[in-house]
Structure 1
Amino acid sequence: MMTDGAVPARKRGRPTEAERVQRRDEILDAAVKLFIANGFGGVTFDDIREEAHVTKRTIYGHFATRAEIFLAAVERLRERALAHPGEGSIQELATRIVAILHSDEAIALHRLVIASAREFPELGAQFYRDGPESYIAALRGHVSDPELAEALFSLLLGEPHRRRLLGLTPTPTAAEAEALALAALARLGIS
């Protein structure tokens, strides 16, 4: 039973690994929601605790800082896109990258890091390392030329991503993400 502002009752004892993963995801979901609504600097651990319905101790069991929480959300997106980086075709990888990086969550995090980069420059630098650099590295696993991998990444985002950042277009459907990926690959002569 939960009272106003209280943490919901959970089973006693040490959580299982699956419960820890679920709780971590709940913390990330709550934090992303709050970051998007209030900006990176406008969110406290108390805000996250309240939104996620966990204790501060639970949050600190997973994350030491807000930056760690933000970057864990970026990492979670990357893990979804690069779930099996050495497996599958370049077309499948490119399509997953488009689908993830054009998603509402990724767009919101991208906007947030741009808005916060001046005040929190280390956040912007780490976002770039954990985000774009890792996607480019994964693409390098499929193409021999590092510059070609970077060009492909740029084309996978390009103007459609800019329009998403500006709120001018909706999230692409699976078919639209695949079409954008295939067009980028064709433009560079990659099959």
Structure 2
Amino acid sequence: MTATSPSTPRKRGRPTAAEQAERQDQILDAATALFVARGLGQVTIDEIAAAAQVTKRTIYTYFGDKAEVFTAVIERFRGRALSEQDAEHTSLLDVAAHLVLVLHADDAVGMHRLMIGESAQFPELAAAFYSSGPQGYIASLETYLDGRAASAEALFGLLLGEAHRRRLLGLDPAPTEAAARAHAQSVLEVFRLEGDGTASERPH
């Protein structure tokens, strides 16, 4: 992700809900670009404010401190991914392919690398990253596996697998939609061969 371009001049007075949402996205876009490029510990609230073309007070009002900005970046990413999934996908294969596409994408891999590098210095943020990211995706898979948490966790691990490790190391490019679906299909075949049962359709 990159910081958004300057928006049209803002009117005086209280911003509308749409304007507030746009401003929040502007801040999170700027923060994401800075975090991925330089690392969490090296970025200041002043720099985020300058990149987003807002005041520090605006950032504190919407999010709080830098740690809360980072948590909001992760939560927005997961929220968008799950929203797209809910809107478009009705089978376990659809959901699995979507997760592969999203989690192996450049922006997700960049955030994952960032958190690995910063986890020792910011253990609370590492916990928030896991809660807002992987745990959320695993919970989503549970709805297609009759609520079986262990099975959902195992499937999630397979969907990332060695392909994700290669992405983290920069050895492979991000997958296309077709490649993501093929990877998900092969994972589900292995998953079922190992005896984890028949996947259900999305509950209505």
1:102 is matched with which residue?
104
Amino acid at match of 1:14: R
Q: Deviations over 1:127-182 (max 9, x none)?
A: 11111111111111110332211111001111111111111111111111111112
RMSD of aligned C-alpha atoms? 1.8
| Alpha-carbon distance, 1:85 to partner | 4.6
2:169 is matched with which residue?
166
1:28 matched to 2:28 = yes
Q: 1:185 aligns with which of 159, 173, 188?
A: 188
Q: Check conservation: 1:24, 1:62, Cα contact below 8 A.
A: yes
Q: 1-side partners of 2:93 and 2:170: how far apart?
A: 26
1:148 is matched with which residue?
151
Identity %: 51
Gaps of 5+ in 2: 1-6, 193-197, 200-204
1:58 is matched with which residue?
58
Report the secondary structure of 2:11's partner residue.
Answer: coil
| Alpha-carbon distance, 1:80 to partner | 2.0
1:4 is matched with which residue?
none
Report the secondary structure of 1:154's partner residue.
Answer: helix
Q: Deviations over 1:38-60 (max 9, x none)?
A: 11010111000111111112211
Q: Check conservation: 1:117, 1:123, Cα contact below 8 A.
A: yes
Q: 1-side partners of 2:46 and 2:178: how far apart?
A: 41
Query: Using a 3 Å threshold, how does the CA distance of structure 1 residues 8 and 43 change in structure 2: closer, same or farther?
Result: farther
Report the secondary structure of 1:81's partner residue.
Answer: helix
1:119 matched to 2:138 = no
Aligned length: 185
Q: What stretches of structure 1 move > 6 A for 4+ residues in a row?
A: none
2:195 is matched with which residue?
none
Gaps of 5+ in 1: 1-6
| Alpha-carbon distance, 1:8 to partner | 7.8
With normalisation by structure 1, the TM-score equals 0.90
Q: 2-side partners of 1:31 and 1:85: how far apart?
A: 27
Q: 2-side partners of 1:52 and 1:155: how far apart?
A: 37
Report the secondary structure of 2:23's partner residue.
Answer: helix
With normalisation by structure 2, the TM-score equals 0.85
